[in-house]
Chain A
Amino acid sequence: NAGVTQTPKFRILKIGQSMTLQCTQDMNHNYMYWYRQDPGMGLKLIYYSVGAGITDKGEVPNGYNVSRSTTEDFPLRLELAAPSQTSVYFCASSYDRGYTEAFFGQGTRLTVV
């Protein structure tokens, strides 16, 4: 199993540009999450999904959109990039709500200039 795969690993965006961060998992997990981590800080939950077709906001959803059309994929969309969105983005998945561990990808480092 590849686990949780994120692409790209690095990206530089100009202010106002859009992009999609890709996340895919091959563990047939129902739950998927997107986090951001600013330098020297902890992780903040952006959006999460409990299954295909179901998504919900986390702690810091403004400026982002998500969709979940399949169990495997959970892309994160930035529509109008701003410098405040410069961060490392982590995707994670877990089998169910709270009884099992969450598996994390290796992150996407995004810089908005």
Chain B
Amino acid sequence: DAKTTQPTSMDCAEGRAANLPCNHSTISGNEYVYWYRQIHSQGPQYIIHGLKNNETNEMASLIITEDRKSSTLILPHATLRDTAVYYCIVRVANTDKLIFGTGTRLQVFP
């Protein structure tokens, strides 16, 4: 699976958009980009995933660059409850493993 690079930490003001970047320059054509988050010490929670098109759901938007070498997770109106570690994962569609990196610690402040 392709390796991902994320900033160690980020801050965001409550009510503003949080934009979390992820580099995956070695991604191959059949690898999906997944985002999960882990709030405090709870089990990780799925957010969104995509292949090449931008995706949006009730939690977030995922913007994937045209060359697919990077992506951005957007939380449109961050709240204090969005404070968490956010993991960007790339995964080949026909493999069985789900491998996590070290993630970005997002702190939302009032």
Contacts and interface: CB of A to CB of B under 8 A. Distances in A.
**Interface secondary structure of A, over-half rule:** strand
Given A42-B87, A48-B96, A97-B94, A90 B43 contact: yes
B4 to A, nearest CB: 11
Contacts of B85: 42
Sort chain A's interface into a size bin: 20 to 34
Q: Tell me whether chain B's interface is mostly helix, strand or loop, or mixed.
A: loop
A48 B29 CA distance: 25
Contact of A98 (B43, B44, B45, B91): B91
A35 to B, nearest CB: 7
Interface string A92-111: 10100111011111110000
Interface in A50-93: 50, 56, 58-59, 88, 90, 92
A3 to B, nearest CB: 9
Interface in B59-73: none
A41 interface: yes
Nearest to B85: A42
A55 B66 CA distance: 37
A59 B99 contact: yes
A45 B1 CA distance: 14
A41 B101 CA distance: 9
A102 B99 contact: no
Top 8 nearest A-B pairs (CB, nearest first) are A104-B43, A101-B46, A43-B100, A98-B93, A42-B102, A42-B100, A104-B44, A90-B43
Given A45-B100, A48-B98, A98-B91, 12 more contacts: A33-B98, A43-B87, A45-B98, A45-B99, A48-B97, A59-B99, A90-B44, A92-B98, A97-B95, A98-B95, A102-B98, A106-B42
Interface of B: 32, 36, 41-46, 49, 85, 87, 91-103
